[in-house]
Amino acid sequence: MTIRAAVAGASGYAGGELLRLLVGHPEVEIGALTAGGNAGTLLGDHHPNLQPLADRVLTETTADELRGHDVVFLALPHGHSAAIAAELGEAVVIDCGADHRLNDPTDWARWYGGEHPGTWPYGIPELPGGRERLSSAMRIAVPGCFPTVSSLALVPALGAGLVEPDAVVVAVTGTSGAGRSLKPHLLSAEVMGSASAYGVGGAHRHTPELVQNLSAAAGAPVKVSFTPVLAPMPRGILATCSAPLRDGVDEAALRAVYAQAYADESFVRMLPEGQWPQTSATLGANTVHLQLAVDADAARLVVIGAEDNLTKGTAGGAVQCMNLATGLPEATGLPTAGVAP
């Protein structure tokens, strides 16, 4: 089985990570590579690590360029995917942007503005019912990088009713999560040697996605206080996720629930007790590492999660979804070993 795949937005960080994974995918032939302002340039000018594709010329991102492929990955800015996807007919379209993640049109209008472009099957296979929704799907919404790790960190406890529906997430992230366009606050002189919070007070656009995922798991509305923190590293997320314990819940019960939830998962690993996740261990891998503890004095569950925001948090998750949608084994072409040091 050979899948002909196109990548729109190939000059960006997410597009480059998609191509890194697709180059090594045994069932994929890489077709059109498109870009916006970088159309007409060589891919190697933007991603010198991608030597097998370095001489490929980026073309304009249009429906005509993307038609005729089995799978189209859209690594485009928010708000740009819906119009192109509507013209792509029978291709499997996997949107790495936010256009189709949210269920509620009111949430979309509040956080992104404009008319809601519709909801597609949500691309975290490890969530309850996720694989069933993604298998043979023709349209898939890749989740945000923060919701990927944070949802996987808290869903087992919420789904089992072991914690109250009131979550706090503080997540440290690398600068690549903000994309590749020039932003003064992301210059190395501004970032190196400094950490800074942003989107404070419930202002980050991934908040409604977290609320959506955690509320679905709990079967009731979940309050989420989410604070992202920018750290001087290029990639990776370390999320500290907590919630109040229900009466009578102890650490043994929590560990049993998490062990059962992720026992058969290739890409989610509960670390041995006493070992804590670190972003370096997930670099380049399509994995989430988790560890939990009970803060007895505060009566709270604390779960730490680590992932590479560009791999499992975006491109790796997208390829995982492609495998499910096209009937391939889910793990095909996806690394589970990180790069170290």
User: Mind listing the pLDDT tens digit for each residue in 253-303?
Assistant: 999 999 999 999 999 999 999 999 999 999 999 999 999 999 999 999 999
Catalytic residue among 96, 145, 241, 321: 145
Rounded to an integer, what distance in angstroms lies between the CA atom of residue 249 and that of residue 245? 6
Distances (CA, A) of 176 to 151, 152, 179, 231, 314: 21, 21, 5, 11, 11
pLDDT reported for residue 175:
86
**What does the pLDDT look like over 325-337, one tens digit per residue?**
999 999 999 999 9
Helix (H/G/I), strand (E/B), else coil: 331: coil
Q: What are phi and psi of 207, to 5 degrees?
A: -60, -50
96 classed as catalytic: no
Rounded to an integer, what distance in angstroms lies between the CA atom of residue 227 and that of residue 204? 8
Dmax (CA) for the chain in angstroms is 63
Low-confidence ranges of the chain (pLDDT < 70): 178, 180-182, 186-189
pLDDT reported for residue 192:
80
Amino acid 163 reads V
pLDDT reported for residue 176:
81
Nearest Cα to Cα of residue 93 among 79, 114, 75, 117:
75
pLDDT reported for residue 189:
65
pLDDT reported for residue 181:
64
For 142, the token pair is 């890749």
